[in-house]
Amino acid sequence: MPIDPLNLRRVSVFQNATDDDLRLFAKNGIERSIEEGEYFFFQGDPAIYFYVLISGRAKLMQANPSGQQVNLRTISEWQMFGALGAVSEEATYPASAQALEHSTALAIKSAFLKEMMNTRPYLSFDLMKLMTDYIQEMQERYRELATEKVERRIARAVLRLTAQMGIKTADGNIELAFTRQDMAEMSGTTLYTVSRVLSEWEKRGLVESGRERVLIRNPHGLVQIAEELD
């Protein structure tokens, strides 16, 4: 079932687009449906398409030559990803995009976006805005990794996820659906350490954790861990 083109306005890069432009993008896109664990694209593939996630969740991961992974970003609905190739010719994806659950996305040729940007300054502009935000996030995460201890990094990762993908439960708490491995890749540590830290937090009543699940009981306590000067 094709999506309503006007829904594309929820994509930050398209927020200032005209209805006609949205319809153009929709018409030039192909819907791709992907099962959990499968990939939209792999690191190193030629970056012919960029994507807009329509439903589900995905993650962008980068691997080093010996196969260790880091999670660069978690993608939720109406976020654009794989768009770095829209500028440079002959680009390849610098990371792989894997579905965390059954997901569908709209795939649009990068060349098309590029062409549209030529005559629509608002598009370049909003894409740049997205890029600067992302640069700033990466710079911060880089600094975090270089200067902060694990516990704080995990706290920050959890808070970032809470803001971005937290699911409100019936009783007003916030729940996250991630494996320890995922959380480790997001905070630059190992699943063992994440497990130990979560156990500790659970003892202190900050969270409640289960299989692929973390329930935030006391967000403020986490903020304190994330921010306090030690």
Both structure tokens of 170: 């019936």
Q: For residue 214, what is the enclosing H or E element? A: strand 213-216
User: Per residue in 139-164, is it b (16+ CB within 10 Å) or e — as a string?
Assistant: eebeebeeebebbbbbbbbbbbbbee
* Site of tokens 């935000």: 133
Q: Which does 62 bind (CB under 5 to 8 A by kind): its own copies, DNA, none?
A: its own copies
Pick the stretch among 4-12, 49-57, 59-67, 182-190 that binds DNA (CB under 7 A). Answer: 182-190
Judged by CB, which is closer to its own copies: 24, or 87?
Answer: 87
Residue from the set 34, 47, 180, 216 that interacts with DNA by CB under 7 A: 180
Q: What residues pair up with 133 in beta bridges, in sequence order?
A: none
User: Among candidates 39, 73, 38, 31, which has minimal Cα distance to 55?
Assistant: 31
Q: How many whole angstroms separate alpha carbon 164 and alpha carbon 208?
A: 19
Residue from the set 129, 149, 204, 213 that interacts with its own copies by CB under 8 A: 129
- Taking a C-beta distance cutoff of 8 angstroms, is the pair 52, 79 a contact? yes
Give the single-character DSSP code of 143. Answer: H
Q: Which does 103 bind (CB under 5 to 8 A by kind): its own copies, DNA, none?
A: none
- Taking a C-beta distance cutoff of 8 angstroms, is the pair 133, 141 a contact? no
Q: How far is the CB of 6 from its own copies (least distance, A)?
A: 25
Q: What residues pair up with 221 in beta bridges, in sequence order?
A: none
Judged by CB, which is closer to DNA: 137, or 200?
Answer: 200
Work out whether 167 is an interface residue with its own copies (CB under 8 A).
no
Pick the stretch among 89-97, 102-110, 193-201, 213-221 that binds its own copies (CB under 8 A). Answer: 89-97
User: Among candidates 42, 55, 58, which has minimal Cα distance to 178?
Assistant: 58
- Judged by CB under 7 A, the number of residues near DNA is 21
Interacting residues with DNA between 191 and 210 (CB under 7 A): 191-196, 198-199, 209-210
Work out whether 181 is an interface residue with DNA (CB under 7 A).
yes
Q: Which does 190 bind (CB under 5 to 8 A by kind): DNA, its own copies, none?
A: DNA
Residue from the set 118, 170, 172, 220 that interacts with its own copies by CB under 8 A: 118
| Residue 201: CB atoms within 10 Å | 24
Query: Where do contacts with its own copies occur on this chain (CB under 8 A)?
Result: 62-66, 68-70, 72, 84, 87-88, 91, 94-95, 117-119, 121, 124-125, 127-129, 131-136, 138-148, 188, 227, 229-230
